[in-house]
A and B are shown apart, each in its own frame.
Chain A
């Protein structure tokens, strides 16, 4: 990388730096989805987020939902939020606003049952969002560096080339970002099963190693409990079609994204790391839920490698798609931002790692990713137990 890693961002009240300045319109419960969608239709510049959560679950899941939804609002790419609730749900707009209080994030609430129905609620939410959008436009920008960034690492639709091209190249970019003072999050515990040996070699200190081992073993035990001798079937059909045979093979390719710096900390799903550098987060391998955990912790961007090709993006957080093979890059040009398949034609992982870091800098400076241009933004929260 030839130029200094500096961008103009937005410093939030909690000190963290956003690379986007979004107004979020968030349903606190599934029942508010229609109102949120309507506000998104009227005001295309807001980030409208609906989901299937917010009620009807046991304690651990509701805890995860509150933590993740509050974390998403507190993400530094979000400047302000309108929280739309129904009125009788567990995760209400007032409860969520209370969970945000200490962050200083501007948030307004709308309750459909109090507003007099969905049309009036949409009118209220639209008016609040218009005011917040105006206020966000006036926010001053300031210089940020790599040390202000927390970048999530994700792979989805992996193939046998993922572990040879895109993932090690992302690993090089992760190493450089850490060297520059930044933070990267390696997630997807399911895709650490079978790869504990090399991961433990990176763990800094016995506590980190013990926590990492416990998280991976718990996930492996759950996979065996659910799938019995078919535990290897945690591979998706597309993985197997592409030539991946076992979960250990997929995992060993997957963890290459983390690079080679020490693992400084292991955090729970959606938990904000207290240390900089390489951090492991305990998330499912399911891309959408994994990205939600990292976004809730405050990642401002996600590096997402794919061998089979996926259009998935995430609300308010730019997702940078990196293909593991050039055929995919040519087949899905509107979804892939960068081709790491060039490594098969002779480029080094270091060279492509630099290309990834350069692209990350351009995205931090405002360049839209393919997923942002396409309006690809899906949201789902990891769950523990059954619905009631």
Chain B
């Protein structure tokens, strides 16, 4: 199943999923690019569009929203378990 993913800015490395996603589902962006979800992601939450190394910036709206607290693979669910605001 393909689910709509919403990326605001070309430099964003996460997108918001418009519906609940199951592991293995394809998240498709408006420009046609895709990422396969490696785990379940609730509607409205963020999916990593590319691998993000621990300590790197997560970018949404073209701006940094925080840093990763562990390595994140493309297709992973991004939330409080692996992303924190800057201290």
Question: Taking beta carbons and an 8 Å cutoff, which residues of A are in contact with B?
Answer: 159-161, 163-164, 194-195, 197-198, 229, 231-232, 240, 242-243, 245-249, 252-253, 325, 344
Contact = CB atoms under 8 A, between A and B. Distances in A.
B16 A160 contact: yes
Given A197-B63, A249-B65, A240 B80 contact: yes
B16 A194 contact: no
User: Closest 7 A-B residue pairs measured CB to CB?
Assistant: A243-B45, A246-B85, A249-B65, A232-B85, A246-B66, A243-B44, A160-B44
Contacts of A253: 61
Interface of B: 4, 6, 8, 16, 18, 42-46, 60-61, 63-66, 78-80, 83-87
A245 B14 CA distance: 12
Contacts of B66: 245-246, 248-249
A248 B87 contact: no
A242 B80 CA distance: 12
Contacts of A229: 87
B65 A243 contact: no
Contacts of B42: 243
A189 B8 CA distance: 23
B63 A195 contact: yes
Contacts of B63: 195, 197-198, 248, 252
Nearest to B66: A246
Contacts of A194: 65, 85-86
A197 B44 CA distance: 25
Contacts of B43: 243
Contact of A245 (B6, B80, B87): B80
B85 A161 contact: no
A253 B18 CA distance: 16
A246 B65 CA distance: 6
Nearest to B7: A164
B85 A231 contact: yes
B46 A245 contact: yes
A45 B57 CA distance: 54
B65 A245 contact: yes
A252 B60 contact: yes
Contacts of B80: 240, 245
6 contacts: A163-B61, A243-B16, A243-B42, A243-B46, A245-B84, A248-B66
Contacts of B86: 194, 248
Nearest to A327: B43
Given A194-B85, A246-B83, A247-B85, A161 B60 contact: no
